[in-house]
Structure 1
């Protein structure tokens, strides 16, 4: 049996975490032994699979700080992952053949210190240096200089590098110039749904749970629900959904407008200041736009609630620009829901414009025009939903993801 250990900085709820969990489950189905090691794990803020004995999760190093007086989060993340790797190699006694690490490559040199040679697979969601928000000042650039060098150098030490999209592969090549000899392979994320969402004849109990999630309700009379699923972070541009809804009001008649509702559902961690601040900012924006009775906010929903939300909605809005890949459009299409997404980054590879949804400029008017078409033409949304479902099954299936990943693991252990 091939033993695979996954190293991940913070096993919360997000796209990166979803991929790690799905990858571990995929390899387990192929007969591999799997463990996940992380610097932070909260049973109340994780995917349901992580609470099951079949997927063991080990948390070490959470006593180390996440920031230094609210700053240096990248440095702290590197130190925490170095400690996890050091603990795994020297203190855990765990035997393993392959390490699958992602997000933080600084731990790779520590893994090389094993008494017996181990193989390292690094999954690059996106270069860390490009995830910084705002324009850095002189001190920030000085602080990032050694961290960026370490990221590039240690990424090159991996035996195999995978990326989540062709878009990220191009960014990888342009960013890590010293690694021009590497050609990362693309392993598209897959989905975690075991049962079809949004299918015919499904149990309606979960739908009733969604109708009562939080005030204002999204019950009868709100029969055209737009749904946004993303973390409450500024880079996700969730305000675009609110401004688009405001523009939509001017495009629809009173009767159609009364039917429309928006649900902003997202990952929310009270430890993360940006999550707390941006959640409040969005609530204030909804009030300023006089949309308070048209918007439901939902924080840190469960997997069951997510499936129910996708079943209850009629369209999914995906607002980030230059998103590395984005699992939400796949979840929407699998659930037979059309997607309105920004025409950049990963959605260019997942959403087919005018077929499974709309790819639009990140402007309220562009999104609102696409939203209007779906409100006025229910059959259009139905046809797009069926096309989206077919596309996911053909291109982004769990079986394809499992087989491709397993072949990579086999290649590393030969």
Structure 2
């Protein structure tokens, strides 16, 4: 980032009104070296120092100057925006020396046009026939995503349904998977063993990675998306689901508190199998919820989280900086 900033200042020959830095603040001091001082907007998705583990003394020692640099250079920006109100609160708790700064919220956008251009794939082999209620979980195969909650909720739901209703229920666990990443490999196997232990194996399809074409089809053929992480910075999956007219059941913390309208485009629950199962049962008992919540979700994304909404808000920030 610092190298690119130097190139922009010294070699590109271009002129600028303002700079927008995304996620990495280390380049901001370089940009301030410009002969004609230009304004800098910094888009903070989450403090980097919270994304790295500190399991040893040497690692903590190594991170000290990097953490200080992140906080110091972030404070050099003329305008700071974050991706959610949740991240804004984390920002203030983490960067103690910047407690006087109240960052504005600029919600990430969904590239709606890309969804319209994708041709759905045939997923008949992923969802068994005669499954009227197909639930979908999309997330990386990582333990922090709490994917076990989806399986435990499915098991809880089984005890509430009659045998005929249960026969119509299915769950697709679609996750980002890289065989070179040990946690992906281990957690995938852990979830398979858990499904077997809970006795729901025959009602679960595990999908390791997937194409955009498959994802579109999964959304279209699901009655609801289960979004299980807690304290997610923002989360793009709920936006994708809502745009595809698919209700979302999510944990009532982090970004979903702002993206999902409770009882309108989905349900916000404590991260407990009983509460997730409550919401899933509502979808099964009243299939029309899929249509009404789905329609409300499409409207919400279009109005609040579209590229146009993002562009207009960012443009206003830039105008304010350059006036």
8 A Cα contact 2:134 2:169, kept in partner = yes
From the superposition, tell whether residues 138 and 320 of structure 1 become closer, same or farther in structure 2 (CA, over 3 Å). Answer: same
Q: Is residue 2:323 matched to residue 1:404?
A: no
Deviation at 1:233, TM superposition (A): 2.0
8 A Cα contact 2:131 2:168, kept in partner = yes
Q: Which residue of 1 aligns with 2:171?
A: 262
Q: Which residue of 2 aligns with 1:285?
A: 194
Q: Which residue of 2 aligns with 1:210?
A: 123
Q: Which of residues 112, 131, 149 in structure 1 aligns to 2:51?
A: 131
Q: Which residue of 1 aligns with 2:84?
A: 165
From the superposition, tell whether residues 256 and 190 of structure 1 become closer, same or farther in structure 2 (CA, over 3 Å). Answer: same
Q: Which of residues 150, 156, 169 in structure 1 aligns to 2:69?
A: 150
From the superposition, tell whether residues 106 and 300 of structure 1 become closer, same or farther in structure 2 (CA, over 3 Å). Answer: farther
Q: What are the equivalent positions in structure 2 for 1:43-192 lying under 5 Å apart?
A: 81-82=1-2, 85=5, 93=12, 95=14, 97=16, 98-114=18-34, 117-132=37-52, 136-192=55-111
Q: Is residue 2:231 matched to residue 1:318?
A: no
Q: Which residue of 2 aligns with 1:15?
A: none
Deviation at 1:365, TM superposition (A): 1.5
From the superposition, tell whether residues 153 and 370 of structure 1 become closer, same or farther in structure 2 (CA, over 3 Å). Answer: same
Q: Which of residues 300, 303, 306 in structure 2 aligns to 1:391?
A: 300
Q: Which residue of 1 aligns with 2:158?
A: 249
Deviation at 1:275, TM superposition (A): 3.0
Q: What are the equivalent positions in structure 2 for 1:2-13 lying under 5 Å apart?
A: none
Give SS of 1:369's match: helix
Aligned residues: 322
Instruction: Work out the CA distance in 2 between the residues paired with 1:190 and 1:224.
Output: 29
Q: TM-score, normalised by structure 1?
A: 0.70
Instruction: Work out the CA distance in 1 between the residues paired with 2:147 and 2:297.
Output: 23
Instruction: Work out the CA distance in 2 between the residues paired with 1:119 and 1:187.
Output: 18
| Greater RCO, 1 or 2 (C-alpha within 8 Å, sep 6+) | 2
Task: Give unmatched runs, 5+ long, in structure 2.
Answer: none
Instruction: Work out the CA distance in 1 between the residues paired with 2:72 and 2:265.
Output: 40
Deviation at 1:318, TM superposition (A): 0.7
From the superposition, tell whether residues 377 and 142 of structure 1 become closer, same or farther in structure 2 (CA, over 3 Å). Answer: same
Q: Which residue of 1 aligns with 2:113?
A: 194
Instruction: Work out the CA distance in 2 between the residues paired with 1:315 and 1:179.
Output: 40
From the superposition, tell whether residues 396 and 93 of structure 1 become closer, same or farther in structure 2 (CA, over 3 Å). Answer: closer
8 A Cα contact 2:112 2:307, kept in partner = no
Moved over 6 A (4+): none
Q: TM-score, normalised by structure 2?
A: 0.88
From the superposition, tell whether residues 94 and 339 of structure 1 become closer, same or farther in structure 2 (CA, over 3 Å). Answer: farther
Give SS of 1:242's match: helix
From the superposition, tell whether residues 313 and 395 of structure 1 become closer, same or farther in structure 2 (CA, over 3 Å). Answer: same
Q: Which residue of 2 aligns with 1:34?
A: none
Deviation at 1:340, TM superposition (A): 0.5
From the superposition, tell whether residues 250 and 88 of structure 1 become closer, same or farther in structure 2 (CA, over 3 Å). Answer: farther
Give SS of 2:267's match: strand
Q: Is residue 2:269 matched to residue 1:350?
A: no
Deviation at 1:270, TM superposition (A): 4.4
Instruction: Work out the CA distance in 1 between the residues paired with 2:206 and 2:60.
Output: 36
Instruction: Work out the CA distance in 2 between the residues paired with 1:115 and 1:234.
Output: 48
Aligned-residue Cα RMSD (Å) equals 2.8
Q: What are the equivalent positions in structure 2 for 1:340-379 lying under 5 Å apart?
A: 340-379=249-288
Q: Which residue of 2 aligns with 1:238?
A: 147
From the superposition, tell whether residues 118 and 362 of structure 1 become closer, same or farther in structure 2 (CA, over 3 Å). Answer: same
Give SS of 1:210's match: coil
Deviation at 1:314, TM superposition (A): 0.8
Instruction: Work out the CA distance in 2 between the residues paired with 1:231 and 1:117.
Output: 42
Give SS of 1:106's match: coil
Give SS of 2:107's match: coil
